[in-house]
Amino acid sequence: MESTNNRLDKVKEEIRKRLEELNNQENLLKKKAKNAHKKLTKLKMFMKEIEEGVSQVRLREIVKELSINVRVGFPFTTLARFLVMKQLKNQIEEIEYRIKEISEKLKILEEEKKTANICPECKGLGSRTEIRYVREDGFVTPVTIHKECSLCQGKGRIEL
């Protein structure tokens, strides 16, 4: 049987790896959120410009930058503005939804990070319960015994 110190070292290493993995996922999600916020700001700026009225030249620049397939020019200027605004609204809604999803994933990661070092042997209770059966006078009686967890020394968490 493995010694408690060897088991503890293995569990600590598993916890470190899991925390590192969670931190990497968190950093990736934060980077995605930052990029989404940048794009959202840009789209809202374009939306404001178009609402305030932009020239055909500027509208063409916006259409080109957003890679929208809309013809800008007389007599389609008003229609082009409408179509670009509609595309912008759709893109803004999509990005806001993505940002919301990322925020939810970040909350889940935070919760996972909080519980990553819970002792796998006692599941965070700090003790293990054993049931022993005592036979006396022809009766079998279950007796519950609580023992301090040998892996976490009763703390319920593994200290790194």
pLDDT of 2 > 70? The answer is no
Report pLDDT digits (tens) over 51-97. 888 788 888 888 888 877 777 766 767 788 888 889 899 999 999 99
**Which is more confidently placed, 159 or 22?**
22
Q: Does the pLDDT value for residue 3 go beyond 90?
A: no
Domain residue spans of the chain: 4-116, 117-160
pLDDT digits (tens, 9 = 90+) for 12-23: 999 999 999 999
Amino acid at position 49, single letter: E
